[in-house]
Structure formats: structure tokens, C-alpha cells
Amino acid sequence: MTAPTNKKINVAIIGMGNCASSLIQGIYYYGEDRETDASGLMHSELGGYKPSAIQITAAFDIDSRKVGKDVSEAIFAEPNCTAVFQKDIPHQGVAVQMGHMLDGYSDHMENYPDERRFMPAADTQPSKEAVVKALKDAEVDVMMNYLPVGSQKATEFYAECALEAGVAFVNNIPVFIASNPEWAARFENAGIPIIGDDIKAQLGATIVHRILTDLFAKRGVAMDRTYQLNTGGNTDFLNMKNQNRLESKKESKTEAVQSVAASRLDDENIHVGPSDYVAWQNDNKVCFLRMEGRLFGDVPMNLELRLSVEDSPNSAGVAIDTIRCAKVALDRGIAGVVEGPSAYFCKHPPIQHTDDIARLMTEAFIEGSNVTTVPVPEALAALAS
């Protein structure tokens, strides 16, 4: 089943940071003149929608340097520091609106230079009714949540807005909405699709760690211990210097690896998570990965890997796919968590699948066959196991 290629997907972005910048740059980089050569994209066309079908019709942020500016300007405003691979972004005619802050800002950022931290605007924060009205006025189809890690209350606020406005929700951060049975049930009962939680990069630390862990299991290599250490210099890493905001992030990344291991490692034998903020790295993320195991005859082996990527562009292609999958789910009247895309595109879906199986499920979803959503009791059992 495909949709007409001239149809548009109206998107609202919550948080106009580096990830939003890379996403919007990518929409124009892979515009109509590149649609026949879309190398770098996972899918050049998905459900009848090309990247150029995506248009931003609403945007929210709390930074004084972005609020009130056109989206085309806001994505290049400080403290954004990601790579600029598409300079020519046309005026969108969409001004960034003041968002609802709640726990979306960590006070420790005040100790860092202005060009590195968020600078909250003094505007009155909008009510839920005001955000819902803005979403409806902008005829939004899909909401993209790009709030900082640890924004539990703020994410729940925007999830409520999505439910009331009838907008599909893509949760790109490690706050558990799709993988929370109560929230999953609410989206299902409302007849609205949701994809989440915590976006995987195209070729990032967690997906590489998962694939190697799965390889160990399939080749009969006993894994004894492993770590994944990450450093970066963007606002995401600065935000995560507040250890109190890291609990769900560590759980999401750790479970993504544990779920594909031949047997679960004891907590003391696995460490997966952000490690430190290095300002001069900007949006470059460096992963140091080590895996220790035993081959035939219990002969020991170890693997060490260093991966360096520009963090935000690494997730933008995946974001373009999740937007299109969410719109296809809307087109087909699918409600609740969309299982295949959630498992393939996210680190902490309600039900974990190996990446090869999740990819097959996602391709089946795109083709319109074997389309399923996650029943809430099964999601609950998966989380409890």
C-alpha cells in the first residue's frame, strides 16, 4: 500500500537542537533533485513518501536565541554545534514557539559559557490547551520529541498534547512512553500511533554494540564482560553531566545490548552509557567499546573498537524514516505502538527483537503486510522478564 507521492507530512518538533537541525538540513539535502540518488538514507521512499514530503509546520523550544525566530534560522542558532551539510534552507514561515519547560532544563548548565548551554527565554510557558491548539492550527500529523535526556515531566506533557490533538508521537529520547504499558494503552485507546523509545543512530555506538553482541551469541562465543564509553561536546552530553538525569538513558542503552546477548550479564560485568563531556568535540561523539569473551575450549579473547561519528546527522536519516512510518500508520488507522519500526529504530521498544528480525518486521510494515501493534499485556510481560 502506498500513498500519493505529492502528499505532505506535517511535523511538529519539540526541541530545536542539533538533532532537529540535522533533520531539517537532511530534508532539503535529499530534496527532489537527489531523490534518484539517495545514498545515505535507509529508505529513499517509504510508503509512498519521499523525504521532501516532510514539512515542519510547528516548532517549540525554550532558548531565547531560538524562540520567535523562523525555523530556518533557529536550527543554526547557538548552542547548536552540529555539522552544516546543507546551508541553503528556505524561509519556512514557521516561528519557533515558547515551549513548556518543566524538567527540560538542568540548572547545572548555568555554570557553562552561553555558547555551550541553554539560555531559557523569559516568556510565559504555554498551557496544554495552547499547545494543542497550535498543533491543530498547524494541521500536524507527527510530533517529534527531541527534549533533553531526563525530561520525564516535559515529555509526558507533550505526549498528553499529542493525544488531545490526535497527533502521532515519535519519542526519540530515553523517557519511557511507548515502552510504558499505561501510556501505550492510552495511545491505543485514542486510536493514535506511537513509535519509541530512544532513537538508534544509523551507525552509532549502541547499534554496533548490539550487532557485535548478537554475533557473539550466534557464533557461540561466551561474553563475560563489556563496556561502552562515550564522550561528546554537544548540549546532550553537557545535559548528562547531571547524573540524576541519566537513569533512563543508562537503562535504555544497557537493555538494548542485554536483550541480544546469549545470556544476561551480571550488572557488574556490563557498563553502557555516557561517560564525559569534552567541549571541543562539539557534536562529534567518540565511542570506546570493549568486549571480553571465551572461544572454543574457553580460550579467552577480547575486542576493542573506537567509533567516531557526527552525532546528530547519524540519527537524522532514522528520524526521516520514523516520521514516514508514523504517517503511514496514521494513513492505515493503526493505533498504539507500531512494533516493527519501534524495535528497529529505537533502543528501548516495548518488545526487543534482534535487528535482523526487527528490520524484516519493518519492511513488512512498509509493504502493508503482517502489520501489528504491541498488545499491552505482552509489553508488560516483556518489561518484567
Q: What is the DSSP letter of 144?
A: E
Place of cell 505532505: 8
How far is the C-alpha of 70 from the C-alpha of 64, rounded, in Å?
Answer: 13
Strands of the 142-145 sheet, one edge to the other:
97-98, 54-61, 9-14, 142-145, 168-171, 193-196, 336-337
- Say what percent of the chain tops pLDDT 70: 93
Check whether 338 has a pLDDT greater than 70. yes
Q: Tens digit of pLDDT for each residue in 348-383?
A: 999 999 999 999 999 999 999 755 544 444 543 443
How far is the C-alpha of 28 from the C-alpha of 51, rounded, in Å?
Answer: 8
What pLDDT does 1 receive?
Answer: 38
Q: Which of 98-107, 119-128, 200-209, 228-237 has the lowest mean pLDDT?
A: 119-128
Structure-block grid coordinates of residue 260: 541480544
Q: What is the DSSP letter of 66?
A: T
What pLDDT does 27 receive?
Answer: 96
- Compute the average pLDDT of residues 45-73: 97
Q: Strand 222-232 vs strand 193-196: parallel, antiparallel, or unpaired?
A: unpaired
Which residue did the predictor score with more confidence, 104 or 122?
A: 104
Which residue did the predictor score with more confidence, 375 or 25?
A: 25
pLDDT band at 3 (very low <50, low <70, confident <90, very high): very low
Check whether 165 has a pLDDT greater than 80. yes
pLDDT band at 111 (very low <50, low <70, confident <90, very high): very high
Give the three-class secondary structure for 239. Answer: helix
Q: What is the DSSP letter of 302?
A: E
pLDDT band at 385 (very low <50, low <70, confident <90, very high): very low
Structure-block grid coordinates of residue 219: 557464533
Q: Tens digit of pLDDT for each residue in 26-55?
A: 999 998 767 666 678 888 999 999 999 999
How far is the C-alpha of 166 from the C-alpha of 141, rounded, in Å?
Answer: 8
What pLDDT does 39 receive?
Answer: 76
CA of 365: how far to CAs of 63, 333, 340, 341, 380, in Å? 38, 13, 7, 8, 23
pLDDT band at 2 (very low <50, low <70, confident <90, very high): very low
How far is the C-alpha of 291 from the C-alpha of 8, rounded, in Å?
Answer: 45
The pLDDT mean for the chain works out to: 93
- Compute the average pLDDT of residues 189-194: 98
- Compute the average pLDDT of residues 224-239: 97
Structure-block grid coordinates of residue 183: 501510556
Structure-block grid coordinates of residue 1: 500500500
pLDDT band at 246 (very low <50, low <70, confident <90, very high): confident
Q: What DSSP string runs through 183-240?
A: HHHHHHHHT-EEEESSBPPSS-HHHHHHHHHHHHHHTTPEEEEEEEEEEE-SHHHHHT
- Say what percent of the chain tops pLDDT 90: 87
Check whether 161 has a pLDDT greater than 50. yes
Q: Tens digit of pLDDT for each residue in 250-286?
A: 999 999 999 999 999 999 999 998 889 999 999 999 9
How far is the C-alpha of 159 from the C-alpha of 85, rounded, in Å?
Answer: 31
What pLDDT does 137 receive?
Answer: 98
- Compute the average pLDDT of residues 117-133: 93
How far is the C-alpha of 356 from the C-alpha of 147, rounded, in Å?
Answer: 29
- Within 8 A by CB and 6+ apart from 154, the residues are 99, 100, 101, 102, 103, 104, 147
Q: Which of 197, 187, 180, 111 is nearest to 146 (CA)?
A: 197
Residue 311 burial (CB count, 10 A): 27
Q: At what angle do helices 313-332 and 355-367 cross, to 10 degrees?
A: 40
What pLDDT does 42 receive?
Answer: 83
